[in-house]
Amino acid sequence: MTHMQCGKQWNQGLAIGVFVGLFTLSSFAFCQQQNAHPTISDKPLSAEQLEIYAAVLRGWMNDGKHTLHLADLTIPLDKEDTKDCGKFPPADINSVTVHRFRQQDIASLGSSMIRLVDPEVQSREIQRNDPGKAIQNGTSVDEAVENGYAHGLVTLSEIRFDQSHTHAIVWYGFRCGGLCGNGGTVLMEKKDGKWREEKSCSIWMSKRQMTPGLPFAEGS
């Protein structure tokens, strides 16, 4: 399953049982421990990095109807998220340096529907518009899911390249509620001067919560 297909099936997460919530709590704690205190680089993202991110984001921009809320900071690429991707991961896979998307990057990301957001602020919007809570309060499933999707948050990891600089790996995640979301890791390949998705791995659905509002150190 590609990340595009996974993106279209995000609403299936509402059918996941209570055990997923328990898994989510443990994943949240692990992510928080691994991603604590990353350093924000003062260097802008390169044209090549933006090209890769644009290829990953196309999975959420097919309908052209919803604003895509993109976290304005990347997160470190966790080695756990690459374990199903073969022997690719380079030595610095757990680097804790992250980058900030800038408003001028949006054009390179491929859609004017992208809105850069503070992940902590958007996480509060997700909580207020959680489809599961809305359904419990009597909202129809379709309406609750549609509203949850409209307030969802896409987060992207740092990109890591192999030594030949012809392959790259990146993690993506979409969250729209406690049991609403999906994500995975994408292995990218550069062919004829263009970056394309080679395969997806470590796919998850409604299992991992992103960690909003972590303290960052600016300037490295």
Number of H helices, E strands in the chain: 7, 10
**CA 170 – CA 140 distance, rounded (Å):** 35
pTM across the whole model: 0.76
Of all residues in the chain, the percent with pLDDT exceeding 70 is 70
Residue 214: predicted pLDDT: 36
Cα distances from 149 to residues 31, 152, 174, in angstroms, run: 23, 5, 9
Rank 14-28, 113-127, 165-179 by mean pLDDT and report only the highest: 113-127
CA dist 38 → 91, 100, 216 (Å): 18, 12, 6
pLDDT at 211: 41
Which residue matches tokens 């993106």? 7
pLDDT at 17 over 60: no
Average pLDDT, integer, range 42-54: 96
Beta-carbon neighbour count of residue 127 at 10 Å? Answer: 12
pLDDT at 196: 92
Look at residue 25 and tell me whether its pLDDT is greater than 60: no
What are the start-end ranges of the H helices in 58-154? 106-109, 119-128, 131-136, 141-150
Mean pLDDT over the full length of the chain:
78
pLDDT tens sequence across 148-199: 989 999 999 999 998 888 999 999 999 999 888 889 999 999 999 999 999 8
Find the mean pLDDT for residues 83-98. 71
pLDDT of residue 212: 39
% of the chain residues with pLDDT over 90: 50
In this predicted structure, which of 131-140, 171-180, 198-207 has the lowest mean pLDDT?
Answer: 198-207
Predicted confidence (pLDDT) at residue 64 exceeds the cutoff of 70: no
Mean pLDDT along residues 141-145: 91
Query: Does 208 score more than 50 pLDDT?
Result: no
